[in-house]
Structure 1
Amino acid sequence: MKFPSYQLTAHLDQTIPVVILIAGDEYLLVEETCQQVVAAATRQGYQRQQQFTLDRQFDWSFLLSELRTQSLFAEKHVLQLNLLQGKLKESDAAELLSYLSSPNPDRLLLIRSPKIESSQSRSKWIKQLDSVGWWVQVWPIDRPKFPQWIRQRLKQHHLSADSAAIQLLAERTEGNLLAAAQEIEKLALLFPHSQITTNQMMQAVGVSARYTPFDLVDTALNGEVAKVHTMLRGLLAEGVEPVLILWSLLKEVRALMPLSESIAKGNSLDAALKNGGVWKKREACYRAALKRHDVISLYALLAVGAGVDRCIKGVGSSNIEAELLQLALGIASEPSAPLVSMGKNEKVYW
């Protein structure tokens, strides 16, 4: 049975199945969902928990022995298997499938995994798990829902705050749920059972914005020009390799090319997206980008990307940040956008 994590509480009132898969990419939410399952299992008589990680040195025989052992006193145990990636090797998938075909009713196998891609959801072990247990999908918090998540988190710690204070915390911990949770715990210590003012929030909360190259890509595709430079500078300051940022940006430019060519041949934007197999979650940012760019401007962006690649390899300009910014702003802007200043004696044109 597959369901989203917000439905888990209702399901935990039932008898816990022999296997539960918790899958998602947001560390804090996945961790707390696992803790919720273990707490419910304890209430239902499970007495012991062990954890295993499926890495290169993993020995299936040890886990399977623990899973299949029959307890003399009918003791129930929780065994947690942490997957490092959602796609398993054939041998690992076969071991899981074999166990799930005849699981031990006195054992709860709790599998923690990154997001399971749609292509993997059709694998045999996932289908077998779905038939004998639960697959709990943990989705990240969308940006518009982040302030509401903060409000609920504050309430759990017997705190409240006005909209301005909540918005401030959301801005300073942008996308970083773990950082937001830690800041709320700190607020609970500093101002127990209080209504947090904007000034108190400003004094207590640091800046903990977290960006990934994929966040930069989406921001550029959506045309959020003002934010692109901040995100790029943050990524480089965090030590993200320029080649990874370049690859992420050019990957999307290349993905836009056939869609733009389809539109140039007379197809509608809707038809181009549908025929191009664009995921629903990606449609909005692709639409925004394709309204700004045509085939010619996309080819120009590929040329800019080639220049960035040469720069990274030590040929030509040595200002990698300026070169990457030119590419990212090129994606985010109309092709005729005016120059953007990076600072003293540093200007980028698109």
Structure 2
Amino acid sequence: MLAPWFEGERLPGEVQLDSAVILNRADGAPSAVVWSRRATDDTVEDAVRAALVEVNRREALTGAGLADTVVDDVQRFRPQVQMFSPASVSGGEVSLRDRLPGIIGLALGFLLWSLVVTGASMLMNSVMEEKANKVMEVLMSSASSAEILAGKVLGVAALTGTVLLAWGAMGAAGFAALIPEIGADVAAVLMKDGLLLYLFAYLAGGYLMYAVMFAAIGAFCETPREAQTLIGPIMMILIVPLLVMQMAMRNPDAMLVKVLSWVPLFTPFLMSARAPSGPPLVEIIGTMAGMLVTVVVITWLAGRAFRAGALSGVKLEWKSLGRVLKREG
């Protein structure tokens, strides 16, 4: 038993074994017993298995009469594979320029997701702090709830946009200075067919949709603990596009990706990921229209909820949201 060696009982000081491999042969083939200090770590097991496969292959080939040099050549062989597509920029071999739309789409989708979650969370925390410190009551005495909500949403949007522009400018300068060829290709993809306008629309719609929801939730909470119970379902919704965006990079026209792109809560992220790959114009217009309608409805509902939360000390639960909105109406 090797357990004492892993628990430090057989080694001086605090030294402990991380892994141990006992090599053997079973039925004439290489085999091994692997001990690991962490039962959930299969890294060493996978590495040993791969090494034994190579050893067994070499023994089989040399046993069949092949020279060691031939065996080495076989193992070192890496085939040269070229991919061609009529859809490539050159009309022939596929290059990095042809794969850039998928890469850029995935990066933009993740960037949008990060901006929306960060900006909406900042907005919610700001509202919670003002309510807990009774600042909200002072604000409500001099401005309407709609004006306060609009000011907060636009203020955080301006801050987020400034940070985005600064990082974008530094990234563009870095590309231009270090890898100008790739930088030119990235710029060509972003400037193609009004892509930047689509991305801006999806960014604005996605931010507004979730920002007003988070602000309304913050109006009913005074501590992060209270907010966690309410934003849990929203965060579960936000996890879905994170998973699907990776599929959109490999196949932006996959049925699941196309269907979920029409769900307004997912539209900003998935369409941002798909847009560089050139989806049909009808999908761009249709999903954007659905997103804008949803933004209007959610903004209206969130405005009523924000007013109800700012003017009362009611602790909101999802099951009581309907009653709160009805009372405000």
TM-score range, shorter chain: under 0.3
- TM-score when scaled to structure 1? 0.21
Structure 1 or 2: more helix by fraction:
2
Larger RCO (CA under 8 A, 6+ residues apart) = 2
- TM-score when scaled to structure 2? 0.22
